[in-house]
Structure 1
């Protein structure tokens, strides 16, 4: 029978998206089968690479700071976020988060991909379309 587990974020890993994440709930750390949850800090001026998560949904809770996320087939949409916001990203939706401020953005990220990085698909062809 599986057991309940408690983790305290400590180590980090580098994601394909260009950010460092605090290790959290994932198949690799807890044996999770359908979800992962991590903490992310986007440093001042930091940005991800354009990407999507194939077949997996993402939910984000912004803990502190203000950020911006470009999203859509051509990154044509712009969403501003701030502490207290909840953000939903449907599966297969191209997006690119960035921090245009001089303070860090911290967020809790949950995804229906227990491996977290398994479904990441980089979209370098969209990089030139990103308007910061």
Structure 2
């Protein structure tokens, strides 16, 4: 691999992630040779939600640029926090979660950073346990 150097990255196209959300890949091992982080733009379409997932062994930091997003987390995804434009959000490693755009008409946009240059490789789908009383 080439030695990393200062580089500007302008994503040319969106990709659909394992979380089932559109990403615009920015800084990563693949794009610039990053060795310890990745940073991307995620767009959650109006009324859309991510698939339940976790990031094995890696922290996630999110800065919401536009919109209001509910993040459900925990083993049964019953805990919740709402973040909106101007808020930062931290998700610890291995924490199951989903992101939900609370607007039915406007997309939500956020910058997502992880301490993993190949973060897409370590996203794992998550299936919450059945609700008590079934």
TM-score (structure 2 length as normaliser): 0.90
In structure 1, which of residues 112, 117, 128 is the aligned counterpart of residue 115 of structure 2? 112
Partner of 1:54: 56
Distance 1:11 1:127, change over 3 A: farther
Please provide the CA RMSD for this pair. Answer: 1.4
Partner of 1:34: 36
Q: What secondary structure sits across from 1:80 in the alignment?
A: strand
Instruction: Using structure 1 for the length normalisation, give the TM-score.
Output: 0.91
Shift of the alpha carbon at 1:9? 2.3
**What is the number of residues matched between the two proteins?**
128
**Residues 101-127 of structure 1, C-alpha deviation per residue, up to 9 Å, x if partnerless?**
12111000001111121110101x228
How far did residue 128 of structure 1 move? 6.7
1:85 aligns with 2:70: no
Which is further off, 4-13 or 21-30?
Answer: 4-13
Q: Secondary structure at the match of 2:128?
A: helix
- For residues 69 and 16 of structure 2, the distance between their equivalents in structure 1, rounded to whole angstroms, comes to 20
Q: List gaps (5 residues or longer) in structure 1.
A: none
- Deviation of 1:58 (Å): 0.2
Could you tell me which residue of structure 1 aligns to residue 100 of structure 2?
A: 98
1:15 and 2:42 matched = no
> Can you give the 5+ residue segments of structure 2 that lack an aligned partner in the other structure?
none
2:120 match: secondary structure: coil
Three-state SS of the structure 1 residue aligned to 2:121 is: coil
| 1:46-71 Cα deviation digits (max 9, x unpaired) | 10000000000000000011110100
